[in-house]
Structure formats: C-alpha cells, structure tokens
Copies of this chain bind each other. A is one copy, B any other.
Amino acid sequence: VSDRRTDLLDAAIEEIAIAGTRGMRVEAVARRARVSPALIYHHFGDRATLLASALERVGVRADAYTERAKPVRGSAHTRLVALLVAEVQDDPEVRINSAAWGELRDAAIFDPALRPVIADLTDRWVRDLAALVVEGRADGSISAPGSPNDLGVRLSAAVEGISSRWLAGMLTTVQARRHITAIVHDLAR
C-alpha cells in the first residue's frame, strides 16, 4: 500500500542512502518527494521523528523483499538460506534500502534517539532467524549447537558485513550471495 506518508518516507530513505543520516536535509527530502518541507513537518513533527520513522520503514521494506524471496515449502535450513541471501539483490530498491540501513545504524552510535529503533528492528530480525533455527532442529535440517538467539545474532551480523562490502562495490551480487550461503552452511549446518 502506497500512501502519502510512505511516499515521504521512501523519499527520506533515498536521501539518507545518498547523503548520509547527518547529511539528510528535510528540504532535500521534500524536493525528492515534490512536496513542501511544511508537509513533511506536518506529517512527522520534527527531523528526529522523520529519521526514526524512515528507519521503521526500512525494516518494513526489508521484511517485504526478503519474505517474498523465502519459499513457503522446504526445510527450515533452505528457508533460512533463502531469507538471508535475499538481503542482496540486483534491485535498486534493495540497494537503497540496505545503504539507508547502514547509514542509520552507524548514526545510532552517536544518536540516542535512533538507538532503541535500530535495536528493536535488529532484535526482531534476530528472533525471526532464531525461530527458523528452532524449526530446523525439529525438522532435522539444522544440527548446530548453541543458543538459537546467539546463532541469529551471528548470522544477521555476518550478512550485514557481507552486504556492506557488496554495497561498496567490493563484492558482486553473485559473490555476496555465495558468501552468505557458505556462512549459513558453516554457522547453522
């Protein structure tokens, strides 16, 4: 569903990906969305709320394009690989979204208002992966020992690391997906 509010957030995400979180100017987002800055302030109140809302929207978009790539059938291990490989796709929307995620995550180091939002989104991602690990132990497709939550942390962090290199042009899409597949095999075998 596209409405006015999500259009504004999508413009903010693009601007954050390109200009950085601290380089994001509300005026530039407004230009990108072809609206007035006043309309953005009307919807989001202030810059900090716009940033936090854009970060939430990055999470919603990532959920959509990774879940879409995950097969309904197959072992939990197969679905785990598909879900994580889908973080890297030759699609401008995926690139922009990942770049904005990285920018917002790094800005959170010195921005206490962004910290709870990024922590909450990361936690949800980790819990989704942990649930697949639990399923994989039940269906026999995953035998790696250890806490499912810890495995979720390692898998998601490793994928973020590969994704950063892919965004910076150090790995091709094919290479990045191959590395992610190998990492899932080694960490959650």
Q: Which listed residue (B17, B23, B169) contacts A115, Cβ 8 A?
A: B169
Verify if A91 is at the interface (C-beta below 8 Å from B). Answer: no
A182 partner, pick from B110, B115, B119, B146, beta carbons under 8 A: B146
Query: Which applies to chain A's interface (DSSP): helix, strand, loop or mixed?
Result: helix
Q: Mark A139-150, 1 if CB is under 8 A from B, else 0.
A: 000001010001
Partner of A150, one of B119, B165, B182: B182
> In A129-172, which residues have CB < 8 Å from any B CB?
144, 146, 150, 153-154, 156-162, 164-165, 167-171
- Complex-state Cα separation, A17 to B22, whole angstroms: 12
**CB pair A122 B161 closer than 8 Å:** no
Contacts of A99 in B (CB 8 A): 106, 109-110
Q: Measured between alpha carbons, how far is A21 from B19 in the docked complex, in Å?
A: 10
Contact B168 A153 (CB under 8 A): no
**Cβ–Cβ < 8 Å partners of A186 in chain B:** 144, 154, 186-187
Contact B154 A105 (CB under 8 A): no
Binding site for B on A (CB under 8 A): 17-23, 99, 102-103, 105-110, 115, 118-119, 122, 144, 146, 150, 153-154, 156-162, 164-165, 167-171, 179, 182-183, 186-187
